[in-house]
Structure 1
């Protein structure tokens, strides 16, 4: 029922709104601002000119006053003109309110809420009048609801009130995010007219799948709330297969019964696979609830036939360790992907159109898993729908991160209600692969204080109870990282590698070992990934600057230089010069802004490639590598591989090649030798000839080796061993790996750091041709070896490929597109890695 007039917004000093009758029909709303629902207070104020753009320059503190005010939403709600039947009711449903709210209808209090992460509903059958009604929502300053005496803290000097609130934690600042705690009706509001009973949950599950994938049994179950009948009810299930065939089942819920299940037997089922292993086939499930053949309620969802399992069996080849690998439809997989943070600081403004570009880039980047990190939000339905459609698994954290959480009765009740709501909402998505209790809480607590984590009531009891009771299909894991002697163990469970970026020592650690720091270029070198023998790396990464056009939106022209006050404000990691040590060891320190943007992206790209290749070579002993992080919530210098304007960094393109299902890589050996490895995650057998060429930058071939290879899914092994004396391991030579059958993309291995290479500096020749569809065909040809050839634009341009190397005489064609207009050759600029120290 679309019955809401446009919403209005106004702010008051705490307690002043009621005194000024903001909740009553009689209020004069002159001066109130129009506000979108779903939406956000901050963006409304920016649009009205009451708040400077908070992302620009150092404006962020200009928004501090917002969290000290109370914010009122008002609308006119039209009640039905016709009389309700005796078994009908009206329910006012708020899908998401941020955060402490009081609800008023025609001046009377309906109720309150205190959790951003769950739905609230109010029975307004008696209170709603025919015709216009005044609906008001008061949002209080969150901190006034926090009892600081009940807030646990790791450091008594740093008490974080946010942990007592069921509110997005990242809004209070993170090492990649601003301090912009939000307010608003951040998800939809609806009035539901319901009769007799309603569907409260539908679950779809694959309970049987035979080894040959020729037979499956799936179930569909319902949960029902009866509010005005004990009579028998009928549930009608329609499962529409990808072929278009519709299968139906009927279920009778006898008098008083509130749930039931039906099953479907499927011959040669169309399975849901991640996109790299097959087709993410989706079925349509529709459930109708009926009383005496009259429809009461209906729910529909896209679902997938698939099984998911977490294998933690002992790894016999590495005694004392256990696997941590996902098994999809009986097939063990290597999770290749990234961590997902909220795509905007103002989550109420997000739409499917905002979600699709970064998620599609993840799929195109050969990723098969995204981890929804626990300091943000349970994402919008559009996020999970897109992952279902594009064939990406989802690791779903519950919303707890990097802090001790109070274990009060009140908070425990909220956590249970939140978990029940979210598990019901998300459990039937084909993409759901794991429920995880939190981000880093047990690890940090026990690493620092050697005691049980405050919050274990949730991670060890409430959350697994809810997952078992309401899901029972998707596995649960207590935290990330978790498992082993130390909760960041290399022997068991999943692991976060921050030893490299933060220079933490020792890298190999036992429970209780002190933590040291080495932030020298050697201490933060990405080559330290090579000592990580972890089972599943669920976080690892390093900083890089965003694109120049992204920075120009938020950095004043006079501060567009490395470590300017505004640039450092857009780097929330401390100390601010941490990335300098990484660049110093990889590219050398930058001399100007252009070099900083390029060098930081090169250091990230080479580091991610090195780490991904190392972890993938260790398959199956290591079964996952999730980059920290895929995306940003604002324009920032961060670990992301896609910036806030959806411009992929060099790191994205390097990771895309390193994540390709069939990978050829080089493993350096002590003493100067090397092994060439091939790693396959293709379902079909691979037969190919791998060619290795030792080259110099003048284009001369020193030697060539050909190796015939044959391998199956999930295999990774060395195919060629090269002695040190064969390699000429200096700054004049490189090793080139190619597939004679074109089954994997050619790659280059250098023997020294980028700063020590004797790279040619001649820019390739570009031929740009406008196409009838408005795109540009960009053909580049190199006369000499060209490292990091890439295209840039001040326009919103998408490139089909970028940040690649070309050998002498080699050409490559890239397509450039713009979302709304035809491109001209002058819209695009060709660049490569050119540094002043290489030209001296």
Structure 2
């Protein structure tokens, strides 16, 4: 509720265009007033000051609210994000002046974590959860000091509570299970130890106008072909019973009714409403909601209409989503944070992230239980960009308390979050928590001893009451005798990845839905390594500090990536690393791109049992070879580039079927039938055509189909080099889907029968920079097949990168400035390929 107003300067802006209000009395506000400026903060030793009266007169820093102690220190130039002080174990104080007269209502949307609120020397609130919103009333008569105190967690962590049945290694200290706070900053090896302390969500004074809003609650549903909007408005002050109210949407309106002097509500039916879709399957249609109240008009922002159902499959053990009755293959990544210091990020950071997700063909992001509940701005962007959100409640790994106080806090947290996000169509799955059941199962507990009523009773009951339109699952992973079994329900698939299984494990595992998968130490491009990390040497302490690792493990995720360099490419990673460091980095980027493409090709193929896969993770929390598809500076890595060519709504993918040759899988997730031309070519020595064919194909709406390469060619050809009747007849097979009218390529896939053929050749590369009205671009051509082409430029990053380039086909690549303020510099750099004997320099 009040979802339109729950963001400040660090979140999505509340600008006049989005929330236009025609007010008769401009000096009074119907909206809450954000207390975002005028704050200072200071840190003291734990327990040093019992009240604001004892605060020191020095050491204060300017502070932005919403924000954290870490963001205030960063703004002051005092923060080392990789080695910050243990913020959660000191006391921190925020102060600012208030002025007014009479009764005031303060709304605090999130205080991390053990907090007190003071007016002068009077304590008016104590909070023990960073995930709940508080309203508190107080009297003002002139000026007063509003003080927020954030106490050390140490006493609460030392307090005795119920004994845990298991103790995971993920989090330090394990007694964090007793507190309602994020695990970010407390997971050694996963992220920097930057602990969340401070008013991380907005602090507001509620409006002072006679008709000031208290809460706005909007929800939508589908009835046949019609959309239904249910709206409830509550007001701070009593309203005249004869005040007329009209609810408007899509040129339809209805009168609202008063149930009491504070509450106005009603239901509006929108005939034949245009539905909201994930962008891969249709338009994410949104409809503006307006309220007319007496002589005032309020624009309340957009809403969407959609249905979401779970499809369990013929055996009842699968998991897939149907949106508006249509099956949707969900793909994307697990979200961390746009900015670890603020826990929110700026509107620009969030918009860039959603743009990159959409451009990569992703249609789902998962906010995991180790993170935080995201802002309204995050959900507005998800609605706008057509990205489904899988939302874990903020629980992970632990055996949580079940006492009355903890349960009451959880109930408030969950109900507030669901009410706040009720208007957003993008919320698609609600999950009790991350790896809770898995942890218990791996410790050997049978189902009867690992069940937690929190996940099987309390949370599902709250979801049914507050968001019955969103499917609920108890845990991720869950399903099967082992909750982490891959062929039942929801799994976290790291067979290819941490468990170093061969690629054929992807099919053998029969994954039904991977809510996490494919964690690799993904190497950023050279520009980010130089600029943000300060080193390209993989044994530099700065490099290793940024490589993810599981606590207690004798290996890290560099070792995982090196395993696949050895097994897929047949190289000795250690030797290449010290003999040719640049080649080692390029091969590391290439092998991850290849793994991403192959795994998702398998999961998207015709006949696959998989309903979705979400890569761990979307973005890095620090500079270096982290799990992120996007680096710490917001730049895509090779893994993102590969997914962007494998996850599009209209797609061809290739699977190696051994003695059966290659299968070509043609995917059309759009609502339109698409006539296409399918082209198949096999090249020898990277340039000579060894076999080729083309045929017209019809891609039905929302369909996948399989075409055997042998059927397409019409004669025997050893596509997979499985029969070994003689020397390999070709180096690469290329399948192309082309628009038959325009000739435009809609999708292209490649198969290399021998991945270890890494011989380097003169590819005849040519690169021509050219300026356009939209900026610089490069025209690249090769006389011989170029494998994993990479563009390294001093001033730009390439929009498309780490791609295969067929011979004698020029391709134009747009360039994006590395520094958004430096758009005039001419391109200057090199084009490399992992099978090129030397880079091609250009300027």
- Asked whether the 8 Å contact 1:100–1:139 carries over to 2, the reply is yes
- The answer to whether residue 133 in structure 2 is matched with residue 119 in structure 1 is yes
Bigger shift: 654-663 or 446-455?
446-455
- The answer to whether residue 41 in structure 2 is matched with residue 45 in structure 1 is no
- Asked whether the 8 Å contact 2:674–2:700 carries over to 1, the reply is yes
Q: Which residue of 2 aligns with 1:75?
A: 96
Shift of the 761–42 alpha-carbon distance from structure 1 to 2, 3 Å rule, reads farther
Measure how far apart 1:440 and its partner are. 1.6
Structure 2 distance, partners of 1:197, 1:357, is 34
Structure 2 distance, partners of 1:705, 1:480, is 45
- Quick one: which of 673, 681, 687 aligns to 1:699? 687
- Quick one: which of 245, 258, 262 aligns to 2:267? 262
Structure 2 distance, partners of 1:294, 1:644, is 49
Residues 585-626 of structure 1: CA distance to partner in whole angstroms, max 9, x if unpaired? 233214244233322221211111011000001556322122
Structure 2 distance, partners of 1:228, 1:777, is 59
Q: Which residue of 2 aligns with 1:18?
A: 50
Measure how far apart 1:483 and its partner are. 1.9
Measure how far apart 1:304 and its partner are. 0.8
Measure how far apart 1:470 and its partner are. 1.4
Structure 1 distance, partners of 2:168, 2:419, is 38
Structure 1 distance, partners of 2:606, 2:162, is 45
- Quick one: which of 181, 196, 220 aligns to 1:205? 220
Give the 3-state SS of the residue equivalent to 1:825 in structure 2: coil
- The answer to whether residue 166 in structure 2 is matched with residue 154 in structure 1 is yes
- The answer to whether residue 66 in structure 2 is matched with residue 54 in structure 1 is no
- Asked whether the 8 Å contact 1:277–1:683 carries over to 2, the reply is yes
Q: Which residue of 2 aligns with 1:735?
A: 733
Bigger shift: 40-49 or 90-99?
40-49
- Asked whether the 8 Å contact 1:237–1:287 carries over to 2, the reply is yes
- Asked whether the 8 Å contact 1:631–1:644 carries over to 2, the reply is yes
- Asked whether the 8 Å contact 1:491–1:534 carries over to 2, the reply is yes
Q: Which residue of 2 aligns with 1:481?
A: 477
Shift of the 809–6 alpha-carbon distance from structure 1 to 2, 3 Å rule, reads same
- Asked whether the 8 Å contact 1:249–1:262 carries over to 2, the reply is yes
Shift of the 756–578 alpha-carbon distance from structure 1 to 2, 3 Å rule, reads same
- Asked whether the 8 Å contact 1:163–1:169 carries over to 2, the reply is no
Shift of the 321–462 alpha-carbon distance from structure 1 to 2, 3 Å rule, reads closer
Q: Which residue of 1 aligns with 2:460?
A: 464
Give the 3-state SS of the residue equivalent to 1:17 in structure 2: coil
Q: Which residue of 2 aligns with 1:7?
A: 39
The TM-score normalised by the length of structure 1 is 0.86
Measure how far apart 1:321 and its partner are. 4.6
- Asked whether the 8 Å contact 1:527–1:610 carries over to 2, the reply is no
Q: Which residue of 2 aligns with 1:276?
A: 280
Structure 2 distance, partners of 1:306, 1:181, is 38
- The answer to whether residue 89 in structure 2 is matched with residue 94 in structure 1 is no
- The answer to whether residue 312 in structure 2 is matched with residue 324 in structure 1 is no
Structure 2 distance, partners of 1:178, 1:426, is 29
- The equivalences for 1:390-789 within 5 A come to 390-452=385-447, 456-503=452-499, 523-543=500-520, 544-557=522-535, 560-574=536-550, 575-576=555-556, 577-587=559-569, 588=571, 589=573, 590-591=576-577, 592-618=580-606, 621-671=609-659, 673-722=661-710, 725=718, 727-728=720-721, 730=728, 733-741=731-739, 742=744, 744-753=746-755, 755-762=756-763, 764-773=765-774, 775-789=775-789
- The answer to whether residue 350 in structure 2 is matched with residue 369 in structure 1 is no
Structure 2 distance, partners of 1:620, 1:529, is 11
Residues 498-523 of structure 1: CA distance to partner in whole angstroms, max 9, x if unpaired? 122121xxxxxxxxxxxxxxxxxxx4
Shift of the 331–397 alpha-carbon distance from structure 1 to 2, 3 Å rule, reads same
Give the 3-state SS of the residue equivalent to 2:53 in structure 1: coil
Shift of the 455–360 alpha-carbon distance from structure 1 to 2, 3 Å rule, reads farther
Structure 2 distance, partners of 1:421, 1:550, is 40
- Asked whether the 8 Å contact 1:363–1:390 carries over to 2, the reply is yes
Measure how far apart 1:743 and its partner are. 5.6
Residues 156-211 of structure 1: CA distance to partner in whole angstroms, max 9, x if unpaired? 9986122221111122125431222121111211111455895435132123133x
Structure 2 distance, partners of 1:20, 1:488, is 50
Q: Which residue of 1 aligns with 2:29?
A: none
Measure how far apart 1:759 and its partner are. 5.0
Q: Which residue of 1 aligns with 2:804?
A: 805
RMSD of equivalent CA atoms: 2.9
- Asked whether the 8 Å contact 1:497–1:539 carries over to 2, the reply is yes
Structure 2 distance, partners of 1:644, 1:93, is 33
Give the 3-state SS of the residue equivalent to 1:791 in structure 2: strand
Measure how far apart 1:416 and its partner are. 0.7
Shift of the 92–672 alpha-carbon distance from structure 1 to 2, 3 Å rule, reads same
Measure how far apart 1:715 and its partner are. 2.9
Shift of the 174–330 alpha-carbon distance from structure 1 to 2, 3 Å rule, reads farther
Structure 2 distance, partners of 1:664, 1:806, is 16
Shift of the 356–156 alpha-carbon distance from structure 1 to 2, 3 Å rule, reads closer
Structure 2 distance, partners of 1:665, 1:155, is 43
Structure 2 distance, partners of 1:101, 1:812, is 57
- The equivalences for 1:27-38 within 5 A come to 29-38=57-66
Structure 2 distance, partners of 1:609, 1:752, is 16
Shift of the 344–761 alpha-carbon distance from structure 1 to 2, 3 Å rule, reads farther
Give the 3-state SS of the residue equivalent to 2:682 in structure 1: strand
- Asked whether the 8 Å contact 1:395–1:435 carries over to 2, the reply is yes
Residues 207-248 of structure 1: CA distance to partner in whole angstroms, max 9, x if unpaired? 3133xxxxx1313132647x765985868343343xxx3x32
Give the 3-state SS of the residue equivalent to 2:333 in structure 1: strand
Structure 1 distance, partners of 2:653, 2:614, is 19
- The equivalences for 1:285-296 within 5 A come to 285-287=289-291
Structure 2 distance, partners of 1:710, 1:156, is 52
Structure 1 distance, partners of 2:99, 2:36, is 7
Residues 652-702 of structure 1: CA distance to partner in whole angstroms, max 9, x if unpaired? 111111111222222222447332222332221233232211211341111
Q: Which residue of 2 aligns with 1:506?
A: none
The TM-score normalised by the length of structure 2 is 0.86
Structure 1 distance, partners of 2:213, 2:396, is 35
Measure how far apart 1:531 and its partner are. 1.7
- Quick one: which of 128, 135, 148 aligns to 1:137? 148
- The answer to whether residue 239 in structure 2 is matched with residue 248 in structure 1 is no
- Asked whether the 8 Å contact 1:698–1:785 carries over to 2, the reply is yes
| Structure 2 runs not aligned, ≥5 long | 1-32, 711-715, 723-727
Measure how far apart 1:798 and its partner are. 4.6
- Asked whether the 8 Å contact 2:546–2:622 carries over to 1, the reply is no
Q: Which residue of 2 aligns with 1:513?
A: none
Shift of the 138–811 alpha-carbon distance from structure 1 to 2, 3 Å rule, reads same
- Asked whether the 8 Å contact 1:177–1:634 carries over to 2, the reply is yes
- Asked whether the 8 Å contact 2:118–2:146 carries over to 1, the reply is yes
Shift of the 436–794 alpha-carbon distance from structure 1 to 2, 3 Å rule, reads farther
- Asked whether the 8 Å contact 2:662–2:719 carries over to 1, the reply is no
Shift of the 431–786 alpha-carbon distance from structure 1 to 2, 3 Å rule, reads same
Q: Which residue of 2 aligns with 1:824?
A: 825
Q: Which residue of 2 aligns with 1:512?
A: none
Structure 2 distance, partners of 1:767, 1:484, is 56
